[in-house]
Structure 1
Amino acid sequence: MVADTAVFQVRGACPHDCPDTCALLTTVQQGIAIKVQGNPAHPHTAGSLCAKVSRYTERTYHPERILQPLKRVGPKGAGQFEPVSWDAALTEIAARLQSIAARDPQAILPYSYAGTMGLVQGESMAARFFNQLGASQLERTICAAAGGEGLVHTLGGKLGMRVEFFAQAKLILIWGSNSIASNLHFWRYANEAKRQGAKLVCIDPRQSETADKCHEHIALLPGTDGALALGLMHELIAHDWLDHDYLERYTLGWSQLRARALQWPPERVAEVCGIATDQVVGLARDYGACVQTAPRSVSVGAKGTVGASEAVVAPVATAGSAAIRMNYGVQRVHGGGNAVRLIASLPALIGAWRQRSGGVLLSSSGSFPVQKAALQRPDLLAGHSPRTLNMVTLGDDLLRPASPVFGPAIEALVVYNSNPVAVAPDSGRVVSGFARPDLFTVVLEHFQTDTADYADFILPATTQLEHWDVHSSYGHTDVLLNRPAIAPVGQAKPNTQIFRELAQRMGFDAPCFQDTDEALCRQAFGHSVDFEALLDNGFVTLATPEARFAQGNFPTPSGKCEFFSDRLAAQGQDGLPDHVPNHEAAHSSAIYPLVMISPPARNFLNSTFVNVKSLRDIEGQPLLEIHPTDAAARGIESGHTVRVFNARGAHHCVAQVTKRARPGVVHGLGIWWRKLGLDGTNVNQLTSQRLTDLGHGPTFYDCVVQVQAAQDGGT
């Protein structure tokens, strides 16, 4: 037993929705966490954290943290609650759920996502509870589903380069990612490559902080990434910058893809993407210079723009490895799945996979041998097949009446690890659904978020410093263990304990509901990961190949990189990837002539950290970045309050006139809590519930709007 006066450190892991999955060290004194820092022993974290997580103690000890169960006493949405005991809250919740389940358990819907990425506090005991109950299943697609499905049908899974080998690449394409803000430790590897002479190219509609630091920025129109990839293929074919041996041995469908790519000359690509033809040609030359069987030196295309903070001279990409770091900005449009398929196909054309520092990385999560069935226990369904509802269409589903096709109306909603009123698209309809007086809503939370305001009961959950968990990653290949550093603050309980106690009150007596959190951590990977090493070190590195696909061995049905997918063809889809235009493409509407994307504000992570005052003070107010040309046409200046609107609704925010936005595209930086916005809305008032081509994912960046100065014209 450690004395109360001792100062000690506890190893943990960052729980947030970020590819870095950092290893943490929490310093504890007299039972209080006084500091959270990166673990220098973990190679990927290397002792450093982002500005958000370095302030984690501010979240744990936040004065507005919910520390006891609350019951609603006012109208829904008014945020009026009174304290109740745990026993009273859980007893009433169990009684309400039992009453609904007696009619049809599918009228109960769990809603959760990545408020924690932990395998235990995320979907272990909660999944067991809802499986035993027979509740509706949730299709959790709101972030990565389109890209993940694209990878599955091309590479065979969510697999790719090991992130540390980007440091050895000679050309790095950062495609759809503001890495400095959202993938900080990858940026460390990219910067190391840059110091060794590598060329960095940022492909992103927005001139982000990352674009400022790259040698070239290609500001294509949102949703045109697939067209650019096809244009690169066209040039690789036309100039024979190809690894023919790799294509013959390790790919499927090359002749079909070749024919399709030849329909995309640079001039057509430039018109669709809204960029210069020279940029398409120059990027293809750089990428082609890295072909593995015939390396050659080539001239570079037009030099890209850079930020004033760092002058960069663009080198010519020389023979060597080419690496692509994709991120999720690529896939949040109608054709996101196809775009990922096309980009993920590029390394096979030049044989980039032959080197460990060549290839592509979107997600590494498929590397982890997670024992999902052991954690979630689908056997508890006992032969029942409840319906599955997509989390992206929550607004429509909450307002949908019972029908033979839809099934029962949703009567109860249990929300944990998410804030759907703020983060789900078309939030006007989401709010209308949550405001239903007959909807019984339970929310497990740290704070009184937009969603919690509509709850009938709010149950206080622990933060990462207060519970056990185990983590995989989608940015590297290390398993991390999180030990509790402090006792739960107030009356907070881990998600797992809340669902254990609900299960007991519901009469669920299966032994699996008695598993401790440490036992669940051990079950997460079974015998495939040395748990004792996790206890000792806090992390374990998976044994994965350095050059994963150097000899093919793709985990696809054919064992090859599948340019043509028989599985997709069998589903009635095009087996060959193509450019799929946006639902709401640029120039498609005279009424709403601007395209809006909603990238994350640098100091927030989705809707997390918005209520941390030090971070919110840095962000200031909800912003809309708009190009000077578009602003001048509307009489808008920086600091003006503007009304951004479309057929789904309107949102007021503050204009920032900047060349970070390209003409015709605006950026609604998110995701602010609605109640902390200027008019009780956020950018998701404008986004739609339409889905992607693959994976049933969201189309947040597939949105047209109009912008006008607000009536007061000022701040």
Structure 2
Amino acid sequence: MHSETVKTVRAVCPHDCPDTCAMLVEVDESGRAVRVKGDPANPFTHGGLCVKVAHYEKRTYHADRLLFPMKRTGRKGDGKFQRISWEEAIDTVAARLAAVAKEDPQCILPYSYAGTMGLLQGGSMDRRFFHRLGASLLDRTICSSAGMFGMRYTVGASVGTNPETVDQAKYILIWGSNIITSNIHLWRYILKARSQGARIVTIDPLRTRTGEQSDEHIPIMPGTDGALALGMMHIILRDALQDQDYIDRYTLGFDELKARVREYPPSRVARITGISEDTIERITHEYATNSPAFIRVNYGLQRHAGGGMAVRNIFCLPALLGSWRYPGGGAMLSTSGFFPFKYAVLERPDLIQGQPRTINMSRLGEALTRANPPVRAMVVYNTNPGAVAPDQQRVLEGLRREDLFTVVLEHFQTDTADYADILLPATTQLEHFDLHRAYGHTYVMLNTPAIQPLGECKPNTEIFRLLAGRLGFEDPCFKDSDEDMARQALASLNGITLEDLHEKGWIPLGIGDAPFAQGGFPTPSGKCEFYSERLKDLDPLPAYIPPREDRLSNPELAKKFPLVLISPPAHHFLNSTFVNLFQDKEIGPTLEIHESDAAVRQIRTGSPVQIFNDRGNFLAKAVVTDRTRAGVVCAPSIWWNKLVPGGRNANSTTSEEITDIGGGATFYDNLVDVRPAD
């Protein structure tokens, strides 16, 4: 193909990943996207794309793509539909929602998450619509809320180290993060730091791809990270390794913290974490004496009962050592708090009348089966709760209700789509306009549509505009175009305009190399708060909150179900996205099980096994390994139920219990047992 026949359009990866990669889409003279590649000009992503997105055009043009509105013709869950017009679809949805709203609008539940991270397609016209309708509010907790609140009560927001300075670190703790799978562009900075003498240590229950390539992997019992952080603080203060000047100037509550961490000597922490005292002593001294030191935390470790406090404890460590003083020093979970967007201008909470209830999305099963007043209509978009929500059997029980009117906006016929009454075809990132922030770098980015929508697909924003119009909502905000809303969102970012983004594709926030070198944390005190008055009803000081399902905290349950199940992202999947495209690359659902645990159960690699507890069960093929520690099994996820043997995935065993802070899901706080499948 001659270059003059190809148009190149700037785009952004929309998926739930910290890297938010800059992409280039090549479009031929017929208007078809023929190639997606990374944009080499972007300073952070440098032209790289992960294995999932490198052929994104194949997802857009996949033969199974939903292209037309559909209505259900069979039983819920059977996945039988027939094509209808957009007029019939919008009329039907509007009429059903209006009928429910007439009796009680709180009986309508919007259910969405991070199928796209775009500010417009993910959280703008949809929020306006449901706010104006008076629907129940959704507390979007399922992925990251515990960690985000843990940071908020410590450093003030989802802020941390500038990731572009990590190559200047001298010691790097990768704590519960498989960077090579889920944050690949940061790995380049880490490797550069290593080439300059930095040591890389990974703390993780599983020896992941990242752990394999680190200088050391330290296996920890799931859910005990908060105790390890307290033990490290104990050693730092016991051995006078702290930066007292930084503490005195830029922290709050040091004396109280000092008293608290005395309760966590290495001997106690070793019993809790399964890490030897010698190892705890050694890595603490390495971390404290090699400056600047950097900690990369990820979300897996906050999916336990004490997940919010665990992140809070870890984020106290850099302030004790003064690591924030230096480029490359500090810690990072998310950079999203650096972006000063005024989300209210997109979401318009001022449209809410009265005080509608709030439903925690991590307890969807309970909401669909026990809420009072009941949920009578649900609109699902940007998520696949039939596969990804905890306590799956209860969720599916709710979705099967014949008196529940369910609308699903989707690209493919997912597990959740099979339960829809009306199925609406949504555009992919190549077909719509959007504005992006990131949670792994600090660039504002613009996605420009490269092609016309396929079939009769429509952007989320347009679908909710149509519904607002059909319901007679006359508020001027429902007339806003996507570009109007982008300008509204950008108004709070000094000096960044939509015109600049159209020209350049992305613009950095300019947070500086060491944003907290002189304090300035976005907390009420302006300091790193070891003591947080806002947490006084839980515990204002860092504490260890054990898992609910654990050998120490719940020994009776552990006798019955002695293995901890974790279900981190499979390398070729992102949540439940890409499962239908790349299932062959993951060779089916697998369960990694330690050699000793496999031996007593007479399980061999390749054997079909059943993983079970009192909540449910699922099937997988065993992989006997030493990559996971004894007592821990790992099921890479999240598979669609309809694509696996037995029709159930790991969430058939997870619970709807929530975290200490932030109301987050506790996917990895999960005891199971394993047996050979019949």
TM range (shorter): over 0.9
* Aligned residues of 1:221 and 1:586 also touching (Cα < 8 A): no
Paired amino acid for 2:137: Q
Cα deviation, 1:657-687, whole Å, max 9, x if unaligned, reads 1111110000011000011111100000001
What SS does the aligned partner of 1:120 have? helix
646-655 or 545-554, larger mean C-alpha shift: 545-554
- Deviation for aligned residue 1:135: 0.4
Q: Does 1:429 align with 2:394?
A: yes
Which of 381, 385, 393 is the aligned partner of 2:355?
385
Structure-2 separation of matches of 1:188 and 1:675: 37
Paired amino acid for 1:501: L
Runs of 4+ in 1 over 2 A off after TM superposition: 3-6
Equivalence for 1:673: 640
- Deviation for aligned residue 1:354: 0.8
Alignment of 1:162-311 (within 5 A): 162-290=162-290
Structure-1 separation of matches of 2:535 and 2:411: 42
Gaps of 5+ in 2: none
Which of 520, 527, 531 is the aligned partner of 2:498?
531
Alignment of 1:313-712 (within 5 A): 320-381=291-352, 383-402=353-372, 408-526=373-491, 528=493, 529-569=496-536, 572-586=537-551, 588=555, 589-612=558-581, 615-711=582-678
Cα deviation, 1:458-479, whole Å, max 9, x if unaligned, reads 0000000000000001111000
Paired amino acid for 2:41: A
What SS does the aligned partner of 1:679 have? helix
- Deviation for aligned residue 1:384: 1.6
Equivalence for 1:8: 7
Cα deviation, 1:315-359, whole Å, max 9, x if unaligned, reads xxxxx3101111101201010111111100000111111102110
Q: Does 1:146 align with 2:122?
A: no
- Deviation for aligned residue 1:535: 0.5
- Deviation for aligned residue 1:4: 13
Structure-2 separation of matches of 1:532 and 1:69: 35
Paired amino acid for 2:577: T
Alignment of 1:97-112 (within 5 A): 97-112=97-112
Structure-2 separation of matches of 1:395 and 1:331: 21
Cα deviation, 1:558-612, whole Å, max 9, x if unaligned, reads 111100101111xx21100111000101353211010111111110000000011
What SS does the aligned partner of 1:488 have? coil
- Deviation for aligned residue 1:262: 1.5
What SS does the aligned partner of 1:496 have? helix
Structure-1 separation of matches of 2:297 and 2:530: 18
Structure-1 separation of matches of 2:249 and 2:588: 54
Structure-2 separation of matches of 1:518 and 1:622: 42
Structure-2 separation of matches of 1:4 and 1:68: 34
* Aligned residues of 1:79 and 1:453 also touching (Cα < 8 A): yes
Structure-2 separation of matches of 1:197 and 1:4: 44
Cα deviation, 1:432-490, whole Å, max 9, x if unaligned, reads 00000100000000000000000001000000000000000111100000000000011
- Deviation for aligned residue 1:554: 1.2
Paired amino acid for 2:359: L
- Deviation for aligned residue 1:276: 1.5
Paired amino acid for 1:373: A
Paired amino acid for 1:61: Y
Aligned length in residues: 670
What SS does the aligned partner of 2:54 have? helix
- Deviation for aligned residue 1:269: 1.0
Paired amino acid for 1:344: F
* Aligned residues of 1:4 and 1:31 also touching (Cα < 8 A): no
Structure-1 separation of matches of 2:374 and 2:402: 13
Structure-1 separation of matches of 2:255 and 2:651: 42
What SS does the aligned partner of 1:662 have? coil
- Deviation for aligned residue 1:5: 8.0
* Aligned residues of 2:391 and 2:653 also touching (Cα < 8 A): yes
Equivalence for 1:24: 23
* Aligned residues of 2:340 and 2:492 also touching (Cα < 8 A): no
Structure-2 separation of matches of 1:632 and 1:104: 57
* Aligned residues of 1:72 and 1:79 also touching (Cα < 8 A): yes
* Aligned residues of 2:618 and 2:652 also touching (Cα < 8 A): yes
Structure-1 separation of matches of 2:313 and 2:636: 28
* Aligned residues of 2:318 and 2:324 also touching (Cα < 8 A): yes
Paired amino acid for 2:110: P
Structure-2 separation of matches of 1:4 and 1:200: 44
Report sequence identity in percent.
54
- Deviation for aligned residue 1:545: 2.7
Structure-2 separation of matches of 1:218 and 1:586: 20
Structure-1 separation of matches of 2:32 and 2:635: 38
Equivalence for 2:53: 53
Paired amino acid for 1:22: C
Paired amino acid for 1:353: W
- Deviation for aligned residue 1:401: 4.9
Change (3 A) 1:191 1:5: closer
What SS does the aligned partner of 1:9 have? strand
Cα deviation, 1:614-659, whole Å, max 9, x if unaligned, reads x221101001100011001000001111010001011111111111
What SS does the aligned partner of 2:675 have? strand
Equivalence for 1:130: 130
- Deviation for aligned residue 1:100: 0.5
Structure-2 separation of matches of 1:267 and 1:369: 44
Structure-2 separation of matches of 1:694 and 1:284: 26
- Deviation for aligned residue 1:218: 1.1
Over the residues paired in the alignment, what is the CA RMSD in angstroms?
A: 1.2
* Aligned residues of 2:341 and 2:492 also touching (Cα < 8 A): no
Cα deviation, 1:377-416, whole Å, max 9, x if unaligned, reads 11111x42110000000001100153xxxxx100000000
Cα deviation, 1:474-527, whole Å, max 9, x if unaligned, reads 111000000000000111000000001111111111111111112222222215
Question: What TM-score does the superposition give when structure 2 sets the normalisation length?
Answer: 0.98
- Deviation for aligned residue 1:530: 2.4
Question: What TM-score does the superposition give when structure 1 sets the normalisation length?
Answer: 0.93
What SS does the aligned partner of 2:181 have? helix
Cα deviation, 1:3-50, whole Å, max 9, x if unaligned, reads 998311100111000000101100110201111111111011100100
* Aligned residues of 1:17 and 1:605 also touching (Cα < 8 A): yes
